[in-house]
Amino acid sequence: MHDITAIAAANPGATRSPNFMKHQRWFPTIYDLRRGAARRLPHFAYEYGDGGAGDDTGIKHNWAALDAVELIPRYGVMPKLPPVGVELFGRRYSAPLGVAPMGSPIVVWPGADKLLARAAQRAKVPYTLGVAGGATIEEVAKIAPDVMWLQLYRFANNNHAIGFDLVRRADEAGVHVLMLTLDVPVRTVRSREVKVGLGGGGVFKPDWRMVAGMFKCPGWGVAMLSNNLPRFANIQPYAGPNAGLNDTICFARTEMGGAFSWDEVARYRDKWKRPMVVKGILHPADAEKAVAIGVDGILVSNHGGRQIEALPAPIDCVPAIVKAVGSRATVLMDSGVRSGTDVARALALGASAALAGKAFLWGLGALGADGPGHVIDLLIDELQSALGQIGALAPAEARNVVVRHPGALHF
């Protein structure tokens, strides 16, 4: 375990969470948080956050592909922990990692969106609010003014009236990066959600098992009482002034769906004057199309294995996409990131940063409000260790490390 003073000195842009040392005793890794979340959360909440498509084969494949990437160290070059601050899209962040967009993290832990935003702002790492989250653009912009990004799904009805209004709101709120999602062209079934009563019928109808699970988990129940019922905060205003949760769910299923076409990406590019990222790219030819339109960043992603199990692991696609776009766009990666070593792997293969999703849900489940901050601290600690171990003096130098990457795809 590293000395906290040394870590802070090496990375002055970040501020550690006050309870880091206490929590590290019991949760020294992200996997420990996963086990803690399984014990502490209602079963339906854990299954929603932990599961993926089918039998979770895609999730396991993402993990296995990351684990297969080996970094060949060079020694005799560094006597101390390296700094890990980076510049992304013209802004300085404390580390090349961030919070990936997630749909309805409030199911896992009530108030999750605001807790994630607060931790990211404290640590000065990017936080991407999912448009289907439980807090509004305006609320999160006040909590995380320096680090807020926004992920947007496709709202094609009425000539994209809702989508363009969300862009307007994001602009007025000062969102720094707009992220368009391309990797959900159709709806798919997530079996673990269906089995616990979520995701099957399109509306939220708690059954006796859910209610019993809530009573068995007092921490989750207290958080629910403090934050009210889950809601699609950004979509609800468009569903009508008196729309309840199920009304908003039905409205969203009608209005929201499909992947942005390239013509639509171009239209949003014209509307949005700040940096824009497209999410879900796995083929270098698609990355080249995005760059030709004027997109600033590519998020290599398979939606965390939550859409279909047959997709390649994003880490295996990163080198080809980096080669295709060169210096014309910033390449990011998500799906399967569980450690700072995973972040180092992504950097070594050419990505500028990696985003984590499930790790933050596990942190919320295990530690509640303290969870997101603890996850960020663990990731930064492990990333500094990994870079120091392989002889990289800064995140950008990880690209100079020799890598054995058996799963790399060659298009």
Helices (H), 174-313: 191-195, 208-216, 218-227, 236-239, 245-255, 262-271, 284-293
HSE-CB at 232 with a 13 A cutoff on CA atoms is 24
Check if 303 is active-site.
yes
| 353 close to 88: Cβ distance less than 8 angstroms | yes
Q: Which residue has the tokens 């939606």?
A: 303
| Buried b / exposed e along 305-330 (16+ C-beta atoms within 10 A) | bbbbbebbbbbbbbbbbbebbeeebb
Helix axes 358-367, 371-390, angle to 10 degrees: 130
CA distances from 353 to 86, 95, 133, 208, 379 (A): 9, 8, 23, 43, 12
Which of 23, 61, 176, 303 is the catalytic position?
303
* Nearest CA-CA partner of 227 in 358, 135, 145, 102: 135
Residue positions annotated with a catalytic role? 303
